[in-house]
Amino acid sequence: MTTEHFAIGVDLGGTKIELALVNRLGQILKKLKVATPAKEGVTAVIREIISATQALLQGTEAHPLGLGIGVAGQIDPAGETVRFAPNLGWHDVPLQAELQQQLELPVALLNDVRAATWGEWLFGAGKDCADLVCLFIGTGIGGSVVSGGRMLCGHSNSAGELGHLTIDLHGPLCTCGNHGCLEALAGGWAIARRAAQAVAADPRAGKELIRRAAGQGGNITAATVASAELAGDPLASQIVTEVAEALIAGAVGLVNAFNPERLILGGGVIEGLPELVPRIAQGVKQRSLKVASTKLQVLHAEQHNDAGVIGAAAFALQSVIGNEVHS
Amino acid sequence: MTTEHFAIGVDLGGTKIELALVNRLGQILKKLKVATPAKEGVTAVIREIISATQALLQGTEAHPLGLGIGVAGQIDPAGETVRFAPNLGWHDVPLQAELQQQLELPVALLNDVRAATWGEWLFGAGKDCADLVCLFIGTGIGGSVVSGGRMLCGHSNSAGELGHLTIDLHGPLCTCGNHGCLEALAGGWAIARRAAQAVAADPRAGKELIRRAAGQGGNITAATVASAELAGDPLASQIVTEVAEALIAGAVGLVNAFNPERLILGGGVIEGLPELVPRIAQGVKQRSLKVASTKLQVLHAEQHNDAGVIGAAAFALQSVIGNEVHS
């Protein structure tokens, strides 16, 4: 029997559910991953979360103080309901009450990107920092902001949609319906779109990209571009430069608007192209206001795939036992 | 003799110093304006602030609890020193201590745009709102953000440089050295630059603008453009449409990033072209994320020229007597 403070962290995505038992220092004691039965509906997914939680706890002596769950979707300001989660097909699911009732544990519900930011803030590249911006560049781009030692939520709990900063007034269409969003120029899906267009416009220049995508321009992904760039392909290298320019423009705006001490970059695109971190750091130092950039650090996220579960668990501890987790 | 809580609010600019005696409801009881002897140096300016403060208090029975002073420049995070104020030619002036010593009153020092935001937040278009973004569009563009009931300061006290969001990656040069900043497309100086370029490129189309600028394309200001647009001039109207598009792009980014309940627009360009407020409101509703814009209000700033002194006074009361001013 242990007296240590534990919580369960859950990262609920459209294809998989990740769970971890995490202590108050952000250390993972045990973890588990199961498939999300998204197509079987809300009840099946909740049942799966419950049984995976029980499986996680089996054979341990830990008595978790709560469960935190990060969901890829919009969470209401009270942290009770998943308003909309496109990958799960959910609308207005009262997930907190459902889980709390069945698990007989306090449950804290939050957006998955915000959970990852909690993880980076408390235990990763944002440790001991009161002013940070996290930018996660994956298929889409999301983020979260800590300012003056507090996570910004906004009026509808949607603050931090940093992928939807307009950085190119006359730029390409975004999935959100707007034009020239950061995500529409530097998100994974946009990198794939840009590469497919470049290859279609000049198949000769795109030979290497096409080869790596098994002969089909339409198969090119951001990972294809990253691997071709690493191998020295000029077209891939040009596309990566465009992506870097877009990320610098977005990062400059974020630094000028939020004046963070640290800008933390993570997500699949950064994992595939880690060279982007120093490139963005240099561009941001050159182009943002001196007052905002003098003390700025631009850092690679530290927790990679575990930030979500660690952050969700930390958020749960924070919710249950208050600021104690911070000390 | 009164028991009411008063403070003195001061707005220190490069050409004029405005002072007001303000009560805890944000009402001005008396005000005064004097010229800034900027060319005579720091000591002369401080002497002028002291004597104007004494003149303001003469003949009143009010005993101010403190003095708040907003300065067009960078203030250190402790609120003690004016780090840099280009219009005054100041570098590292310990204004708080100087004034406190000579006035024998608590002095609170802050940036002028942030002072105006305090004014709008406590007593203007932002009243009773915990999440707001103020965007002041004058010759330059500045702003401030209140999130979760707190004014964001950032790590170096420079949060809110909203004029320097990149909104056009390939756009024109800004005074900050970057390209395509919101200010470089929609600030007063940028509107004048754009009009001068348009008139030079097509003097026939620019006839009306040139006439209103006494025959000199180089004399065209944002106010010239506003008056010609009001009179139905097609070129001026086109320039205003471009400005509106730039402001919508910037505002969409701010709404997505901060998720405010209210976006408050003020400053000289808005006073000259108040039609921009509903145009921006419509554009923002159409183009920002639904979750962020559903409950959003886009409002015209209410306090016009007095927001600075009212806000500086409120900030001083806040600093001296704490949250009491808020109740």
What is each CA distance from B163 to B128, B134, B218, in whole angstroms?
26, 11, 24
CB contact (8 A) between residue B260 and residue A287: no
Which of B130, B147, B292 lies at the smallest CB-CB distance from A158?
Answer: B292
User: Do A141 and A282 have their domain in common?
Assistant: yes
Looking at residue A222, its pLDDT comes to: 96
Q: Which residues of A touch B161 (CB under 8 A)?
A: 256-257, 259, 289, 291-292
- Confirm whether B281 is domain-assigned: yes
User: Do A199 and A244 have their domain in common?
Assistant: yes
Range name among A233-237, A277-281, B317-321 with the lowest pLDDT average? B317-321
CB contact (8 A) between residue A291 and residue B168: no
Q: Which residues of B touch A160 (CB under 8 A)?
A: 257, 259
- Confirm whether A320 is domain-assigned: yes
Looking at residue B3, its pLDDT comes to: 54
pLDDT class for A5, splitting at 50, 70, 90? Answer: confident
> How far apart are the C-alpha atoms of B194 and B207, rounded to whole Å?
15
A287 touches chain B (CB under 8 A): yes
- Confirm whether A1 is domain-assigned: no
- Which one, of A10, A141, A159, lies nearest residue A74 by Cα? A159
User: Do B161 and B277 have their domain in common?
Assistant: yes
Q: Has residue A1 got a pLDDT over 70?
A: no
- Amino acid identity at A164: H
Pick the residue from chain B with its C-alpha nearest to A261: B155
∠ CA A254-A255-A257 to the nearest 5 degrees?
65
B5 touches chain A (CB under 8 A): no
Q: Are A127 and A326 in contact (CB under 8 A)?
A: no
> How far apart are the C-alpha atoms of A245 and B295, rounded to whole Å?
33
Looking at residue B61, its pLDDT comes to: 84
Q: Which of A169, A254, A293, A297 to mutate to test the interface with B (most CBs of B within 10 A)?
A: A169
Q: What is the pLDDT of residues B235-266, one digit of tens each?
A: 999 999 999 999 999 999 999 999 999 999 99
CB contact (8 A) between residue B291 and residue A156: yes
User: Do B172 and B222 have their domain in common?
Assistant: yes
Looking at residue B165, its pLDDT comes to: 98
- Which one, of A98, A87, A113, lies nearest residue A49 by Cα? A98
Pick the residue from chain B with its C-alpha nearest to A170: B168
- Which one, of B166, B93, B152, B316, lies nearest residue A182 by Cα? B166
User: Do B234 and B189 have their domain in common?
Assistant: yes
Size of interface A-B (CB pairs under 8 A): 167
- Confirm whether B178 is domain-assigned: yes
A180 touches chain B (CB under 8 A): yes
Please, is B86 exposed, middle or buried when counting C-beta atoms within 10 Å of its C-beta (0-12, 13-18, 19+)?
exposed
A242 touches chain B (CB under 8 A): no
Please, is A309 exposed, middle or buried when counting C-beta atoms within 10 Å of its C-beta (0-12, 13-18, 19+)?
buried
Helix axes B95-103, B42-57, angle to 10 degrees: 40
User: Do B259 and B163 have their domain in common?
Assistant: yes
- What is the span of the domain harbouring residue A136? 130-301
Residues of chain B with pLDDT under 70: 1-3, 322-327
User: Do A112 and A194 have their domain in common?
Assistant: no
Residue with the larger pLDDT of the pair A327 and A87: A87
**ipTM of the shown complex:** 0.94
B174 phi/psi in degrees, rounded to 5:
-105, 165
What does DSSP assign to residue A243?
H
User: Do B188 and B155 have their domain in common?
Assistant: yes
User: Do B24 and B81 have their domain in common?
Assistant: yes
Which of B165, B245, B260 lies at the smallest CB-CB distance from A253?
Answer: B165
Q: What share of chain B is helix, strand, coil (3-state, %, to 5)?
A: 45, 20, 30
Q: What is the mean pLDDT of chain A?
A: 94
CB contact (8 A) between residue A252 and residue B176: no
B168 touches chain A (CB under 8 A): yes
User: Do B256 and B269 have their domain in common?
Assistant: yes
What is each CA distance from A225 to A138, A198, A273, A280, A283, in whole angstroms?
14, 11, 9, 18, 21
B169 touches chain A (CB under 8 A): yes
Residue with the larger pLDDT of the pair B60 and A186: A186
Looking at residue A311, its pLDDT comes to: 97
- Confirm whether B124 is domain-assigned: no
What CATH number is attached to the domain comprising A10?
A: 3.30.420.40
Q: Are A254 and A165 in contact (CB under 8 A)?
A: yes
- Confirm whether B194 is domain-assigned: yes
Q: Has residue A324 got a pLDDT over 70?
A: no
Looking at residue B324, its pLDDT comes to: 45
- Confirm whether A229 is domain-assigned: yes
Average pLDDT over every residue of A20-46: 96
- Amino acid identity at A221: T
Helix axes B234-258, B276-287, angle to 10 degrees: 50
User: Do A97 and A149 have their domain in common?
Assistant: no
CB contact (8 A) between residue A154 and residue B147: yes
Looking at residue A3, its pLDDT comes to: 54
CB contact (8 A) between residue B249 and residue A130: no
Question: pTM for this structure?
Answer: 0.94
Strands B6-12, B16-23: pairing is antiparallel
Which of A156, A180, A258 lies at the smallest CB-CB distance from B259?
Answer: A156
User: Do B295 and B157 have their domain in common?
Assistant: yes
- Confirm whether A124 is domain-assigned: no
Q: How many domains does chain B have?
A: 2
Q: What are B51's strand-pairing partners?
A: none
CB contact (8 A) between residue B156 and residue A249: no
Q: Which residues of B touch A257 (CB under 8 A)?
A: 145, 159-162, 164-165, 254, 257
What does DSSP assign to residue A294?
T
